[in-house]
Structure formats: structure tokens, C-alpha cells
């Protein structure tokens, strides 16, 4: 098939949506499909099968903020979208933003079958304006996503059952859908990695994710400060984001010296493997690939109880779940597993047994199957339509 991926957000592979997109691109290409990408990543101009639109501008101040978040947004240029769609068999929308919405309109007019991924919670959006606790606003955002994009596509890809149920509860409708994890790459696996010399005597706690309000790294910082073993712990916050300076100031106030660093894809696998514990404190999480990567490496994973986070479903039992945004409760769990090393090792084995469920090759095979089924059904509908027309 000739497949067009429409990407409102695409750039360096340092965020979940871009990583999911590029994994899908590589998987589809490896299976012989002709894959086109429509995006606003100006670094891709001139590359084969890339169709580049201009960046969407909100004015100097907002543009600077968006850039600080680490993404660029796409301006829906009709001529570029139409060119990208010439001769394609299926369009897959990655996000329900401006470019995705415009692509849906054009694909409908052209009669091209469509699928769409669900990679953005309403709360991800409203958290940036500190209004994520307003349920009515979140509900309206979900309704907007549905009205502009998801109601028109032939199938929706949900990375987790959690986000499927959340979306359908908000729009009060059942959707034609496939629940498929974005998966964990095969190179992310358990292996023996020695701790750096400077960390040899430390209990290393890792947390990976964008430094953002909804990721709640501040809760983890406070928990480490409350731990009886504060001086023994080395906290690593792997990532980047708008809250970096605020978290550094908080760490200084708490007399902590965490490592703040954005690691490349190979480095982070080593860091996961030499860590003693992985904590995912996010309040809002649609899937949490970083958490799944820690599971794939057989780490003890501690997650938040937040009702807006899918990662709590990854916990092997309640001992691995702390009360959302409750630093004192998290500190108790950290201390318990430091004091009970043998039990921690048992939990590592429990998590490792769960890791196969998220094999990326299998997940990508399911994505391909979804697209093929949608395409074949669309062809069947068109065939039946032409037969009815000729019968008249």
C-alpha cells in the first residue's frame, strides 16, 4: 500500500509521539509499504517521501513557549496536503490538530480511507494552561477532537484500553477501534551494565519523561528528600522540558543533587539497566513508553495511582503503586524496597515476565493489519457502490 502519515508534531525522537511515528514508519517500510510523511519538520525538506508544510505561528511569545516545550506545530497548507495525497491508498492521522483536521477534510473529499491514532489526552493540552482539573474543559476538548477528526475516520488506534475508555466516556459513543500498544523496541532489554564508578555505592532511582507539570517529577524529588536513605539515593531525571529550571531550584532547596540529562536512545537503555528502581510519577499519561521500557529491562517499577494515568495498569500489584502526588507515600515505598532487597529482586522477575506483551514487532504487525483491514473494507464498499450504480 501507499500510506500517508499526517504528523502535526514531528522532529527529534525525544518525545513519545515522534518516537511512535518513526517506529511505525520504519515498520511499514520494512514490510514493503510505500510510506509518505506530511509534517512541518523543516530539517526534512528535500528528503524523499517527505512533504513539508510551514510551521504554525501563534506570535513571538507563544512560539517561544512551544519551542521550549520541544515541539513544532504544522500549518495546514492545502496545496502541500493535496500533493501528499496523490495516489495514496490510506491516510493515517497521528494527532487531531490543525494539520490533521485539514487532512481529514481533503481525504474525505477524495474518498481516501482513513485511520487515526490517539496520542494526546485532553489533559495533556489543558495542563499547559494549568486548567487540567476543569473536567468540563477536558470534556469539551475531547468532543472537539471527535467532531473534527475521529468521527470521520474508518478506525481509531488507541495505545491503551485506558484511553479508549476515557475517550468513549467523554463522547458517549462506541468507536470502531483497535487497542494496540506502541510497543517497546527489541534492543531495549535486560542486560548486565555496571554502574559508573561515581554511582557504585548509590541506590539509583530513574525516572524518564518530559519535565512538565503533569509528569509530576516534583513529587519524586520531594519523596527522595523525605526518604530515610536520602544520602544513599542517586536520583536520575532523564529528559528535558519547560520545568527544568523550576525542578533544579526545588532540588537545591531540598538539598538534593539529582542528575538532569537527556540521554540518547542507546544511553538510556544502559541507564535503565544499571538503575535499582524506576519511578513513573506522572499524573497524566496516555501510555508511558518509558515505563514499558523499564519493564522490558526487568526493573522494579513504581507508578502513580492517578486515575488519569494508564501506567497504574502496568503495576504487578498494589505494593508498586503510590498515592498520586503524595510524596510521603512514595517515600515509604522507596524505603521499603531499599530495606527488602530480596523482595525487590523477586519483583524484578515479575516485571520481566510481563515485558513480552509489549513486543514492538508484534505491535507493529497489528498496526499493519488494522490498516490493511480498513483499506480492504473501503475497496469492498466502493466495489458494492459501483455495482449498485450499474444495476440502476
Task: Describe the strand order of the beta sheet including 277-280 as a list of residue ranges.
Answer: 259-261, 233-238, 203-208, 277-280, 301-304, 321-322
Question: What length does the chain have?
Answer: 392
Q: Which residues contact 278 (CB under 8 A, 6 or more apart)?
A: 205, 206, 207, 208, 272, 291, 294, 299, 300, 301, 302
219-239 burial: b if 16+ Cβ within 10 Å, else e: bbbbbbbbbeebeebbbbbbb
pLDDT value of residue 119: 94
Strand ranges inside the chain, DSSP E = 2-6, 34-39, 50-52, 90-93, 114-117, 155-158, 177-179, 203-208, 233-238, 259-261, 277-280, 301-304, 321-322
Torsion from C-alpha of 215, 218, 219, 223, nearest 10 degrees: 140
Distance, CA of 91 to CA of 6 (rounded, Å): 7
**In this structure, are residues 284 and 214 in contact, taking their beta carbons and an 8 Å threshold?**
yes
Using the 8-state DSSP alphabet, how is residue 74 labeled? B
Name all domains of the chain by residue range, CATH numbers in brackets: 2-183+359-391 (3.40.50.2000), 197-357 (3.40.50.2000)
Give the predicted TM-score (pTM) of the model. Answer: 0.90
Q: Divide the 392 residues of the chain into consecutive groups of 10 and give the mean pLDDT of each group.
A: 96 81 95 97 93 83 58 88 98 97 97 96 78 84 97 97 96 97 93 96 96 95 98 96 95 98 92 98 94 96 96 96 98 98 97 89 96 95 79 68
pLDDT value of residue 128: 67
**In this structure, are residues 303 and 285 in contact, taking their beta carbons and an 8 Å threshold?**
no
Amino acid at each position: 500500500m501507499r500510506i500517508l502519515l499526517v504528523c502535526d508534531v514531528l522532529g527529534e525522537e525525544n518525545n513519545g509521539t515522534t518516537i511512535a511515528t518513526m517506529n511505525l514508519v520504519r515498520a511499514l517500510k520494512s514490510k514493503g509499504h510505500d510510506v509518505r510523511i506530511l509534517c512541518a519538520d523543516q530539517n526534512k525538506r528535500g528528503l524523499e517521501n517527505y512533504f513539508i508544510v510551514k510551521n504554525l505561528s501563534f506570535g513571538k511569545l507563544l512560539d517561544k513557549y512551544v519551542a521550549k516545550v520541544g515541539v513544532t506545530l504544522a500549518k495546514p497548507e492545502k496545496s502541500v496536503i493535496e500533493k501528499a495525497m496523490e495516489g495514496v491508498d490510506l491516510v493515517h492521522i497521528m494527532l487531531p490538530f490543525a494539520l490533521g483536521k485539514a487532512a481529514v477534510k481533503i481525504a474525505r473529499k477524495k474518498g481516501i480511507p482513513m485511520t487515526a491514532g490517539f496520542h494526546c489526552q485532553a489533559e495533556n493540552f489543558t495542563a499547559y494552561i494549568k486548567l487540567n482539573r476543569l473536567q468540563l474543559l477536558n470534556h469539551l476538548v475531547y468532543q472537539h477532537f471527535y467532531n473534527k477528526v475521529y468521527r470521520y475516520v474508518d478506525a481509531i488506534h488507541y495505545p491503551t484500553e485506558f484511553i479508549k475508555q476515557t475517550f468513549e466516556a467523554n463522547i458517549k459513543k462506541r468507536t470502531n477501534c483497535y487497542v494496540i500498544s506502541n510497543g517497546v523496541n527489541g534492543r531495549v532489554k535486560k542486560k548486565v551494565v555496571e554502574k559508573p564508578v561515581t554511582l557504585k555505592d548509590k541506590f539509583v532511582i530513574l525516572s524518564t519523561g518530559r519535565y512538565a507539570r503533569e509528569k509530576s517529577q516534583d513529587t519524586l524529588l520531594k519523596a527522595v528528600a523525605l526518604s530515610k536513605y536520602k544520602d544513599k539515593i542517586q536520583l536520575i531525571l532523564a529528559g528535558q522540558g519547560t520545568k527544568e529550571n523550576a525542578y533544579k531550584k526545588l532540588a537545591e532547596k531540598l538539598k538534593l543533587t539529582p542528575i538532569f540529562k537527556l540521554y540518547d536512545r542507546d544511553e538510556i537503555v544502559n541507564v535503565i539497566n544499571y538503575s535499582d528502581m524506576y519511578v513513573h510519577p506522572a499524573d497524566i499519561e496516555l501510555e508511558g513508553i518509558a515505563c514499558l521500557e523499564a519493564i522490558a529491562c526487568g526493573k522494579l517499577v513504581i507508578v502513580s495511582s492517578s486515575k488519569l494515568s494508564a501506567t497504574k495498569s502496568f503495576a504487578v500489584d498494589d505494593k508498586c503503586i503510590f498515592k498520586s502526588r503524595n510524596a510521603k507515600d512514595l517515600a515509604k515505598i522507596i524505603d521499603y524496597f531499599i530495606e527488602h532487597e530480596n523482595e525487590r529482586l523477586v519483583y524484578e522477575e515479575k516485571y520481566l515476565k510481563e515485558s513480552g506483551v509489549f513486543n514492538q514487532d508484534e505491535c507493529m504487525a497489528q498496526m499493519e493489519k488494522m490498516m490493511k483491514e480498513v483499506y480492504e473494507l473501503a475497496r469492498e464498499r466502493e466495489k458494492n457502490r459501483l455495482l449498485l450504480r450499474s444495476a440502476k
